[in-house]
Structures are given as structure tokens and as C-alpha cells.
Amino acid sequence: MGNGKRPKAFEIALSGISCAVAVLFLSLGIMTGVNSLTAVGYFVAVVALMLPLSKQFFLGAFLAYTGTLILTIALGAAAQFWKLVPFAMFFGLHPIANALQIRFKINKWLALAVKAVWFDCTLIVGYYLVFGGLLGGSLLPQSVYDVLNKYIFVFIFTLGTAICFVYDYLTFKCQIAVNLLVQRIKK
């Protein structure tokens, strides 16, 4: 009787810890208004969401992801929702996609192609949300922004895809480290 409840309790605890850490860092990252801290918040949140996946708790990971989004919005990210959109569309779900890829033994090249298109679509949505489909500003000369706007999709589909390949590789390596950490905790 104790065996059936113990794994469920561990899944709930691991998912809860995952959600709490992800909400804390994602909220802090978004609320600071500093883009580098937002990136750190994304990174820590993604690593935190890997915790339930280390024991293949897919439902727990998805619920932690969903709870992270809801709680982060409730804690004030709704005022800057555009900073949460990439996490909601790609970064929060990416570790789950990687775990499912391994679980169902999906061809890594096929999965990488799908994830690259998914990432590029996220970048396009981000471009339209943040810049209204038009980059502009005062940091660079207007001619630079004109070139960027003219060739934005070329940049997204080349540089974005290259960045996705590197990110995907590093995410798999982070998942291995998280798996080893959780394995040590369990003992």
C-alpha cells in the first residue's frame, strides 16, 4: 500500500518544487525590466521544469509548466506579457518535447527540424509582438534598422535555426545534469 503512494507523493513534491522555483525566477526576471535578468530567469525556470522530467513525470512537468505560467501572470507579468510569450510558446515546453523525443525514440534529426521551425515561429511572433513587425530605435543608425526589417525573416530562419541547434544541444546536456542531481537526492 505504501509503494503506490510514495511515487505519487514524490512526483507531486518534485513538480511543486519545480513550479515554485520556475515562478520565482521567471517573475523576478520579467519584473526587473533588465533583459539579461529576464534571460537568467528563463534559464533557471527551464532548468527547474526539468526536475519532474528527470523521473519521467510528464504530467507533473506539464502541470508545473502550466502552474508557472498562471502564477507568473498573477504575480504581475501580465503587465509585460510579451516577455512571457517566448517562454509560453517554446522555452517552457521545450524540455518536455525533448523528454518525449527520448521516450518515444523519435529520430533526432527529424525532431531537431521540427523544433527549429517551432523556435523560428516563436521568434516571428516575438518580432511582431515586441516590435509591431517593425524594428526601430535610436541605438543604431536608421539604415541598419532598414536592413534588419527588410531581411528579418532571413535572419530568423538562418541565425534563429543555428541558435536553436545550439540551444537544443545544451538543453539535453542540462537535462543530464538535472537527472544526476535528482538521482543523488532520491538516495
What is the full DSSP assignment across 158-177? IIIHHHHHHHHHHHHHHHHH
pLDDT classification of 153: cutoffs 50, 70, 90: very high
Q: Are 68 and 19 in contact (CB under 8 A)?
A: yes
Q: pLDDT at residue 147 above 90? A: no
Residue range 70-127, pLDDT digits in tens: 999 999 888 888 889 999 999 999 999 999 999 999 999 999 999 999 999 999 998 8
| Spatial CA neighbour of 48 closest among 75, 83, 21 | 21
What pLDDT is recorded for position 116? 98
